[in-house]
Chain A
Amino acid sequence: MNTVTQSKPESVSRMKTLISKSMFVKPLNLQGEMGATVGSIHADNPRITCRNVNVFYAENHAIQDINLDIGTNEVISLIGPSGCGKSTFLRCLNRMNDTVEGCRVSGEIKIDDFDVYSKHLDVVPLRAQVGMVFQKPNPFPKSIYDNIAYGPKIHGLASTKAELDQIVESSLRKAGLWDEVKDRLDQPGTGLSGGQQQRLCIARTLSVEPEVILMDEPCSALDPIATAKIEQLIDELRQRYTIAIVTHSMQQAARVSQRTAYFHLGKLIEVGKTSDIFTNPLHELTQDYITGRFG
């Protein structure tokens, strides 16, 4: 507090003795340490509903009793400190956790009323329906064209070359990459810049017409301009898709999402409208995390 050294009127020093010195505003309406989720878990027009989702890695209870709805045409951002289970939760939604050995999921996750963890469900169509974009841009070491065409090919979405061309073009257009790459579709996707690569990965995901897109820290490896482009793209995609995004950047969550969910130590602490979470969070842990008072 020694920054306050300006000359001040006598009255001020009097004020200071007059008024008690408790500096910070006490949050009065914040709720208990670790209880049930605070805020409304319900979305207006839910596409994904999760009830009592638990994930175990061997003995480790990675996420605990998560209840959350994700609405249609909504961007929901999942925030929280590292290891809080937000990525694990995201990967439950298209069963990418199946590839992790010793991972067990219980509870119910429904997308448009079919159960993601039903025994009869084949993950292949599920993953076509629920696309995923990863932290590091990971285009296949093939041409730009082949990168986009791969999904439609394996799922048999195009029967002729013309159809495939059409899918490639429209996917690249949706990802806002068409004008940048239309003259070099036969060049390797790995030769693009980081931001272009990530948009290529998004275009690849769009090529199989998913309903839901999961993004796991899609901008963590990108510079601010590339990040801004991706954020703009996310906003455009919201018209057609449901998007869940994990991010470490609070500002990004605030910018791109309509709802925000805060995870802490495997629990869903708080969900709410992004504007509410970032101006007036209900839970003390949320507030501490987003204001930078964590740990």
Chain B
Amino acid sequence: MNNRTDSLSTMEKVRKGIAKRRSAERLFRFYGLTGIVLGLVFVLILFISIIGKGYSAFQQTQIALDIEFLESVIDPDQTRDSKVISRADYNSLIRKSLSKAFPEVKGRRQIRDLNRMISTGAMFQLRDRVLEDPSVIGQSERVWLLASDDYDMLMKGHIDRNVSESERRLKDHQVAWVDQLFEQGRIKKRFNTFFFTSGDSRAPEMAGIRGALMGSMYTLFVTLVLSFPIGAATAVYLEEFAPTNKWTDLIEVNINNLAAVPSIVFGLLGLAMFINFFGLPRSAPLVGGLVLTLMTLPTIIIAGRAALKSVPPSIREAALGMGASKLQTVFHHVLPLALPGMLTGTIIGMAQALGETAPLLMIGMVAFIVDIPKGIFDSATVLPVQIYLWADSPERAFVERTSAAIMVLLAFLISMNAVAVFLRKRFERRW
């Protein structure tokens, strides 16, 4: 077969090379595996640290007080008018109840410390209780009220009792009150509904995520409603109808470039155009949505075009060959097949928009807003901005809230991706 007696035969050469090839392959696989493991470890660390810091925010320390709903304080004229009721001085009821519970406490300073044990938001709890059921007026009832943030931290173990009194935020007598309440079973950690039902607040124990969550939802709603139809229509037009010439080439290049523009630039554009030129309200989800629409459009268009391109031309030919018009071909056959891909692209774009902070800073969505927005014209903030704001706050209790807010944001993202996967599976058709 071969007469090259001096040189090695082909098989020998091949055998000599095998070891080297195998080791190269093993090395490559090792690199890949290392990369994946490293990535997983980082993700794990991230989750552990966030969940570890944040889980406690879902519980809140509350103190049970026997409140006498004195008619003389709440509604002296017995009008039962909600305006009167809501204007009443509930703090005095709380103060009375506290002094009854701790009769030994004397002195202006001590009493002030005692009163600070209950959150400033507790008065709203009482108000809501009375508004809900005015028959409680004149009665006495045990009510669980929010503890203020320092006591909450102590209960959650974030304040170390072993540190010397001077370096502690709570003094020895305050710790003693907590212990006394604890023995009586009147201080407890309960599930924190406030976190999900209230807006932002300066007081950490009162601060909730709902405002930001609703802001994010309204903003994303505006973004989705605008960017999906516009993006899908653009993709369909460019891919199926537009002639290929210099202009469409130029548009294509520009769309691809827009996808790479820093997002803050879109914020500046939104500020200049929507707020200064069109005079739309600042901090409104409408403007945020408009800006995020500009930002996500290129992503959606590019994904949409890729999805349309992946529809086999034989389907188009089949439809055209049956005598379908161009429009019928696209809407009856091409678009249904491309839709899962387009939806995936859209949801990726939306997820990107959900996590975006920079452009929203430019249009004023970074403001401190206590009210929960009721529509797209109300001032609002969004989850990532809320996280940024809380991370900036000095109080110890905001640390856990920041982590909790991140958890909410991640849950939001994961559920959006789950929806994307579901839609893909639901609408995906093979050809």
Q: Residues of A at under 8 Å CB distance from B?
A: 94, 96, 99, 101, 123-128, 131-132, 134, 136, 138-141, 150-151, 154-155, 188, 190, 201, 204-205, 208
B414 at the binding interface (Cβ < 8 Å): no
26 A–B contact pairs at CB < 8 A? A96-B317, A96-B320, A99-B316, A101-B243, A101-B244, A124-B323, A125-B323, A127-B322, A134-B317, A136-B314, A138-B314, A138-B315, A138-B317, A140-B315, A140-B319, A141-B429, A141-B431, A150-B332, A151-B322, A154-B322, A154-B332, A155-B323, A188-B429, A190-B431, A204-B318, A208-B322
- Is A132 a contact partner of B328 (Cβ separation < 8 A)? no
Q: Report the minimum CB–CB distance from B116 to chain A (whole Å).
A: 68
Q: Which residues on A sit within 8 Å (CB–CB) of B243?
A: 101
Q: Which residues on A sit within 8 Å (CB–CB) of B22?
A: none
The listed residue (B314, B318, B320, B323) touching A208 by CB distance below 8 A is B323
B188 at the binding interface (Cβ < 8 Å): no
Chain B's closest residue to A124 (CB) is B323
The listed residue (B318, B325, B337) touching A134 by CB distance below 8 A is B318
- Is A94 a contact partner of B321 (Cβ separation < 8 A)? yes
Render B287-320 as a binary contact track against A, CB cut-off 8 A, 1 for contact: 0000000000000000000000000101111111
Q: Report the minimum CB–CB distance from A214 to chain B (whole Å).
A: 8
Q: Residues of B at under 8 Å CB distance from A?
A: 243-244, 312, 314-325, 328, 332-333, 337, 429-431
Known: A140-B315, A141-B337, A154-B328. A132 touches B429 (CB 8 A): no
The listed residue (A96, A127, A140) touching B333 by CB distance below 8 A is A140
A128–B324 CA distance with the chains assembled, in angstroms: 9
Q: Report the minimum CB–CB distance from B355 to chain A (whole Å).
A: 35
Q: Which residues on B sit within 8 Å (CB–CB) of A208?
A: 322-323
Q: Report the minimum CB–CB distance from A277 to chain B (whole Å).
A: 28
Q: Report the minimum CB–CB distance from A150 to chain B (whole Å).
A: 6
The 5 closest A-B pairs by CB, nearest first: A138-B314, A127-B323, A132-B321, A128-B323, A141-B429
- Is A139 a contact partner of B323 (Cβ separation < 8 A)? no
Known: A141-B431, A190-B431. A134 touches B314 (CB 8 A): yes
- Is A205 a contact partner of B322 (Cβ separation < 8 A)? yes
Q: Which residues on A sit within 8 Å (CB–CB) of B312?
A: 138
- Is A138 a contact partner of B318 (Cβ separation < 8 A)? yes
A138–B319 CA distance with the chains assembled, in angstroms: 10
Q: Report the minimum CB–CB distance from B186 to chain A (whole Å).
A: 66
A205–B328 CA distance with the chains assembled, in angstroms: 17
- Is B321 a contact partner of A131 (Cβ separation < 8 A)? yes
Chain B's closest residue to A151 (CB) is B322
Chain B's closest residue to A191 (CB) is B430
